[in-house]
Amino acid sequence: MATIEQKLWGKTPDGKEIFLYTLTNGQGASIQVSSVGAGIVSVNVPDKNGVIADVVLGYPDPMSYFADGPCAGKIPGRYANRIAKGHFTLDGKEYELPINNGPNHLHGGPQGFQNQVWESRIHEDGVEFLYFSEDGEMGYPADLKAVARYEWSEDNELRLTLTATCDAPTIVNLTNHAYFNLNGEGSGDILSHLLQLNASEYLPTDETLIPLGESAPVAGTPMDFVVEKPLGRDIKEDFPALKYGKGYDNCWVIDGAERGQLQEAATLYSPESGRVLTVSTTQSGVQVYTGNWLSGCPVGKCGRSYNDYEGVAIECQNFPDAPNKEDYPSSVLRPGEVYQQAIIFAFSVK
């Protein structure tokens, strides 16, 4: 059972306290999570030689987490990823959301969950964060209560459970936006990391990264990670998805995904460090983003700003723009229902 320490990490200009929690297991491996965006601040795990290093991108100053471009480590909401033109219809009523990514709405808007201080507590063997989103916040209907729970095991498994309830019909899509570099944060790019996805189809998009509709086979394209390959091998290919995003920033359809069932989504491996990250989830899709626009972000824990491609985000979630796509898994939550999803980040070596 991990030991858990809580400390006051800082205060916002309006006086809100920001807490940092450190969970350490018997091997000396640890994680840190903070009440800014219920975010993962660090994951300290051993390499093949037993040397422990921090494999998550992040910042030493808690204030850097507010409104950072990369959304480093945090939980975006109320709807992670993009909604086309900031517009959706629910039960015959139209809703308008802030436009903050080209012509689209991204990650719940400029005051999304990732830029809020969540309430926090140590509860049983984990840390829980709670955010209460009021009806009308960022244009979304209904009061929504979201809870993010983190647990850290003796086997270096970081388990994140996401739940939400509401008092009127709304939409919700939650994930975690941590960036991983299995050689250690600040050690250079992740283009030599090997990625394998349990996904034989992906969602092609328009040039603003909104899915066109139907999924397409990855076979014969640079989007094929059914067999592991280096992230950098095809990243410069002349292919629409890679040109639109300056690298990978797409949602893959997890093979065999069933609502509520844990399914392996991705495996990331660094031959250099020997570290392996296996990601499992109850979600339908996995957005892989190779940190194509990290440059210019706040100063990282390594003492400098990160460069493009220095981390990869593996975001398990519902499909982008699902509120506007009838064929996609529903993102609607109604009173009396509980939104519940899980993501497990399991670290090992080989």
3-state SS assignment for residue 175: coil
Answer for the pair 95, 109: CB distance below 8 angstroms, yes or no.
Answer: no
| Spatial distance between the Cα atoms of 233 and 190, rounded to a whole number of angstroms | 11
Tally of CB atoms within 10 A around 34: 26
**Active-site pick, 128, 177, 185, 193:** 177
DSSP letter, residue 322: G
**Is-catalytic flag, 107?**
no
- Would you call 315 exposed, middle or buried from its count of C-beta atoms within 10 A (0-12, 13-18, 19+)? buried
| Spatial distance between the Cα atoms of 278 and 344, rounded to a whole number of angstroms | 8
**Is-catalytic flag, 87?**
no
Question: Phi first, then psi: what are they for 116, rounded to 5°?
Answer: -115, 150
3-state SS assignment for residue 139: helix
Spatial CA neighbour of 72 closest among 114, 113, 107, 102:
114
Q: Which residues are catalytic?
A: 177, 315
